[in-house]
Amino acid sequence: MNDRLIHRKMRMARTVLAVLGSSFTLLAVAQSAGQFIIWGDNAMRTNDHYGASRFYAEAMEQEGNSLELQWKYAEACRLSNQYTLAAEAFEKVQRKDLGRAHPQALRWLGEMQLCSGQYDAAQKTWLKVKQKEKDKTSVVAQRAENALEGIRMAKANMVIDSVLVEHLPEPVNSFDSEFAPRTGPDSLLYFTSLRGELNDDEEVTDTANYHARVFTTRIEEAKWSPVTGLPEQINDAHNNANSAWSRDGRWFYFARDDGRGSFALYALDRSIFGASPSLLTGDQGQNYTQPMVAEWNGKQTLFFTWQDHAHNGDMNVRCADLDGSTASNIRPVAIELDPQGNECTPWFDASSRTLWFSSDHLAGYGGFDIFRVDLSNEKPGQPLNAGLPMNSPANDLYATYDAATGSGWFTSNRIGSLAKKGATCCNDIYRYNYPSSKRPIVVIPPQEPQTVAERHITSLREKLPIRLYFHNDEPNPRTQDTLTKLTYEQTYRSYKKLVPDYHKAWGDPGSRAGAEGIEAIDDFFTSRVDFGFEQLNEFIVLLKQALKEGQRIELRVRGFASPLAKSDYNANLSLRRISSMVNYLRTVDGGVLLPYLDSRALSIGKSPFGEDQSAMGVSDQLEDLKGSVYSVAASMERRIEIEQVLLASSAPAENTGIELVKDIGTLPQLQGRKIPFEVKNTSQEPLTLVSMRPDCDCTVVNDLPDTPILPGASMEVIVEFNGRGPEGPLRKGVTIFTNGEPETIRLVITGILTHF
């Protein structure tokens, strides 16, 4: 297995690829469970783990109670990054086996729960792993400790706004796998891709050429140019990946496999036309890959990833002195940087003497996380997790960093990457930028206990993103309006009633295409449409509690639309869809959230998108209704997302409110008093007092006026104080929220409380 999670898709079995094409359904009808298991085993041997999972799943339909078959299926799902399916499968194995035949099931269950972002479930699992591990110094025990720390980090740091992350579009990314982005000395973007031409049945047309190759592209007028493969002297018939250059740009370095399971590093002299690459370093049974060149300690240094199959199979970062096509003095970067587990994809920033790398053992958010470590001293510093959003529950690798621009690249298979074999099947390339600083912002998990507000905001963020789906051009079709009177619940119920129309669009359910289309639509409505509405209602329960306890919260909502109309129309359509969600928030549970919306204690930030943000490959042809309206791909684009929850200050913003103060003198404790305030409307518009929030349960305004205060007029508002409080100086108040200017009016009482 080459480079573990990074290269495992490269050596696909040609026979398995053919079986997984149009003939798969017919084979499923005719073959026995035993035959599917044989095919699955063959696929596993050739590292086609996704194909193996398909075969094992078919076998389980006939022989689902077999423990060994369930274990094989769990492993195939794990190795093909189908995290949720793998977690479900490992849980079944663990429940049935209890660690007897497969003691690793519990550990892999915890890893898969982490990778799918199931942090509460993962915490319970890792606590069990830690409890069961007798040797507290073992690799598993250390991993359990790190996993639990990573879960704490994930719950404490759900959003880091300092980093802007961009998912590169097609043609750079594809529905296959792209990784290892590097900017070359010619300013081109070099990257590695496993991609091939597909026929109508989505089979690779030339499986002999379906391997990893190095491509280039560039930005031209804000668009990425078509990708171009490097010459055959680099992209030969083997897997070729991972670009690097000598500091003077003369030598080009890359990794190539030998067809027998080992990668080696090669060097190509770019100054000699037609030169062939020469072996830089490599040994049978070992992997040398992911090269990167920088100056370190006065020498041109080659950083790379090394893996010894005969040892423990883990990947480790190594370095060597580099002179053209000669690498010498190969050694660990530092003894302290050889943790258990895998570390890989090194990048060294010479300006700050910082090594960036990825690890699946240190405390992180799931899978591989990106870390950096200071190498400016004799001993390295403590590796620091790069934090969110650079890291995710999935695998995050190949980080670069340019200190001059505060930006870089990385690779991830996170949700949102282009995928057809599960949401996290394939790697894509991402770009990131620190807009407010030229240096990375270190994410250090808080050591102090979370406040109530932080716990609320963390619970809310754990539900994100919330995706809500719509039928084509709904709500209120064929209009340029940006608002609607409909609620999301109404659009959701109407959408569900259209399922028969979606079935009908796919034709005869007895045909293969019809049956598969209907099955996909049913799965979409269950796993996406229904789940989104359920998730929204669960979110509202937590939202009500946070608002009730005085938090001021902003929801950031983004809109999407399928490309069936002009972008300005789609932008307005997205706003109508966001409006339907806001209407639902205003009416749910008898309007319990209405006062918070009116008072701006709960606010909605809207980011509508039109066609230019919809997915590539979705039909925009009116005559192609099946593709543009009734397909799953089009349906996935007709959505809005609650993507961020921000905790605003509990105090009103500067210059948005006024404060009125009355002194009540000396008052005995527990002796109540009613204090009248005159509230005058100094604006040019009628002012309505919408709601109030007291500082404590000792002050209240029981009767807000129902009628608005006319411009220039005044109205009496009575604050009731029950006399409860500590002996000594008194300062308590009530905040009144309005529908205009000022946004808030603070009514404050001061005085002295004496012992009763």
CATH 2.115.10.20 fits 164-433, yes or no: yes
Reported as a single tens digit per residue, the pLDDT across 565-615 is 445 677 788 889 999 999 999 999 888 898 888 877 888 887 545 333 334
**Residue corresponding to tokens 């119920």:** 493
Are β-strands 251-257 and 263-269 bridged in parallel, bridged antiparallel, or unpaired?
Answer: antiparallel
Q: Is the pLDDT of residue 125 over 90?
A: yes
CA distance 259 to 208: 13
Could you tell me the fold of the domain covering 657-754?
Immunoglobulin-like (2.60.40)
CA distance 262 to 256: 8
CA distance 395 to 412: 5
Q: If you average pLDDT over residues 131-146, what whole number do you get?
A: 89
Q: If you average pLDDT over residues 737-754, what whole number do you get?
A: 83
Q: If you average pLDDT over residues 506-515, what whole number do you get?
A: 81
Query: Among the ranges 236-250, 297-311, 561-575, 699-713, which has the highest mean pLDDT value?
Result: 236-250
pLDDT at 389: 85
Which tokens sit at 149? 């720390």
* pLDDT cut 90: percent of the chain above it: 39
CA distance 48 to 204: 14
Verify cis geometry, omega within 30 degrees of 0, for the bond prior to 595.
no
Which tokens sit at 580? 């339907």
Q: Is the pLDDT of residue 154 over 60?
A: yes
Q: Is the pLDDT of residue 62 over 70?
A: yes
Global pTM reads 0.58
pLDDT tier for residue 694 given thresholds of 50, 70 and 90: confident
Q: If you average pLDDT over residues 120-133, what whole number do you get?
A: 92
- SS3 for 235? coil
User: Rg of the Cα trace of the chain?
Assistant: 30
Which of 108-122, 131-145, 399-413, 727-741 is predicted least confidently? Answer: 727-741
Q: If you average pLDDT over residues 639-662, what whole number do you get?
A: 69
pLDDT at 435: 64
Which of 408-417, 523-532, 647-656, 741-750 is predicted least confidently? Answer: 647-656
Q: If you average pLDDT over residues 28-41, what whole number do you get?
A: 79
Q: Is the pLDDT of residue 616 over 60?
A: no
CA distance 424 to 483: 35
**Residue corresponding to tokens 């190795």:** 79
Write down the number of H helices and E strands in the chain.
18, 33
Which tokens sit at 229? 């493969």
* pLDDT cut 70: percent of the chain above it: 83
Q: How far apart are the first and last CA of the chain?
A: 80
Are β-strands 602-607 and 552-559 bridged in parallel, bridged antiparallel, or unpaired?
Answer: parallel
Q: What is the mean pLDDT of the chain?
A: 82
Q: If you average pLDDT over residues 408-430, what whole number do you get?
A: 86
CA angle centred on 114, ends 128 and 173, rounded to 5°: 160
Domain boundaries, the chain: 14-156, 164-433, 452-648, 657-754
Report which of 584, 564, 693, 557 is spatially closest to residue 637, judged by C-alpha positions.
564
Contacts of 746 (CB under 8 A, 6+ apart): 652, 657, 658, 659, 660, 733, 734, 735, 736
Q: Is the pLDDT of residue 2 over 70?
A: no
CATH 2.40.40.20 fits 14-156, yes or no: no
pLDDT tier for residue 160 given thresholds of 50, 70 and 90: very low
Which of 427-431, 535-539, 629-633 is predicted least confidently? Answer: 629-633
